[in-house]
Structure 1
Amino acid sequence: MAILAIALSELFHAAEKNAKVTQNLAVVEEFASLLEVLPYSAKASQHCGTIRADLERTVRPVGVNDLNIAAHARSEGLTLITHNVSEFARVPGLLLENWVVGKWQGLLLQMLRS
């Protein structure tokens, strides 16, 4: 399993905003150590430009970080595991799974507990 670099930055941001910064950062760092961190690429940038233009023409655009996360996942042919399905569902060609339901919930909880 892997995490996109931009998604990891969102986790670090959330950890920094909480009162228990040190504890939260440790949890994020431990979680990240279990995964491959995928760097953002030129191919992801190209997908980002295409997705943004498509969404601006047809539907409501997604937020900047979500746009980059979607572009990165789509450019690599990866399934994006998220609970924010409604936001990402607007991105054409993006493979999605909701981590709160189905097979991912148990797997992620098991990883965090081990």
Structure 2
Amino acid sequence: MNAVFASCLFLAAFVAASAHHLELCKKTDDVLATELECIKGQIPEATNAAFENAVKKLDCSDRSCAIRKMCQEGDLEAAMAKFFSADQIKHIHDAATACDPGRRHDHGHDHGHDHGHH
């Protein structure tokens, strides 16, 4: 029973942790291009090489096009798995989370502490 419960917890944690790059499918072209440029600077060289390979194999000229084509498959995670290892998908996910301009984490980046003073 404990093993089943633990594996369910792990699965739930994995799904929650891996969902952010799925948001890439909802981005406008401008935002997507900017975010992908940011991601490019944050992921390891091997992951970037895999991304370039995906761009070529999908007959695309840039990464935005590759993401759009992978999104069209309806399951970005499964589509990415054709081109990236699990570790590489995690690299992209982590970079996507860090690069998303619309996401505000509680990482202390918000220095405008509003205590009711105007």
Q: TM-score range by the shorter chain?
A: under 0.3
Question: Does 1 or 2 have the higher relative contact order (CA < 8 Å, sep 6+)?
Answer: 2
Query: Could you state the TM-score of these two structures normalised by the residue count of structure 1?
Result: 0.27
Higher helix share: 2
Higher strand share: 1
Query: Could you state the TM-score of these two structures normalised by the residue count of structure 2?
Result: 0.27
Q: Which protein is bigger by CA-based radius of gyration?
A: 2
